Amino acid sequence: MDIAIKRLEAKEIESISKSFENTVWGPIMSLLQGYLTEQVEGKRVVLVAYADNDFAGFVTIKWQSNYPPFAEKGIPEVSDLRVLPDFRRRGIASALMDEAEKLIFKRSSTVGIGVGMYADYGPAQRMYARRGYVPDGMGLYYKLDLVKPGQVVPVDDNLVLNLIKERGEDIR
């Protein structure tokens, strides 16, 4: 299978959004339009993956993270990695991460990423660990706020552990 990675273009948004209609994410037209605007403004890069010319997934790079510890240190963040179900376990996510890290490491010695804490995120958690990501040491965050001992928060997509990787730390 031939995997090609490129930057998102406006002409792709409608077809990419339709690709997600029958997934847990549903249509994502407005999300992609917002991402494209941020890409044009230089705030974000949106990388899209094609497997044998079929759209397979995307990832974004946020040059200025919303997560306070990353923002304070100027750590760019890999954000919103999505691979269509039919293309999983075929190296698409790894190819997207390779390209994202390559771009980030041209500007920064550290890359950050947040990962969810429930079972659906298990494959991502394992992939990030294999790629050399480690917890940033700040604990769990819920909607960008530190979860304090004894605090009760929902276990949903907003509960994340933030990870970092230094240039040259790939352990695959």
What would the pLDDT profile of 154-163 be if each residue is shown by its tens digit?
999 999 999 9
DSSP state of 67: S
Residue 172 lies in a domain: no
Beta bridge partners of 140: 161
Report pLDDT digits (tens) over 61-77: 999 999 999 999 999 99
Q: What is the pLDDT of residue 169?
A: 59
d(CA 165, CA 167): 7
Q: Which domain holds residue 131?
A: 3-166
How many domains does the chain divide into? 1
Geometric angle at alpha carbon 62, from 153 and 45, rounded to 5°: 135
Q: What is the pLDDT of residue 171?
A: 52
What average pLDDT does this structure show over 21-38? 85
Residue 144 lies in a domain: yes
Give the model's confidence band at 21: pLDDT under 50 very low, under 70 low, under 90 confident, else very high. Answer: confident
Residue 147 lies in a domain: yes
* SS3 state of residue 74: coil
Residue 171 lies in a domain: no
Report pLDDT digits (tens) over 102-154: 999 999 999 999 999 999 999 999 999 999 999 999 999 999 999 999 999 99
The pTM for the full model equals 0.91
User: Where residue 46 sits, what CATH number does that domain have?
Assistant: 3.40.630.30
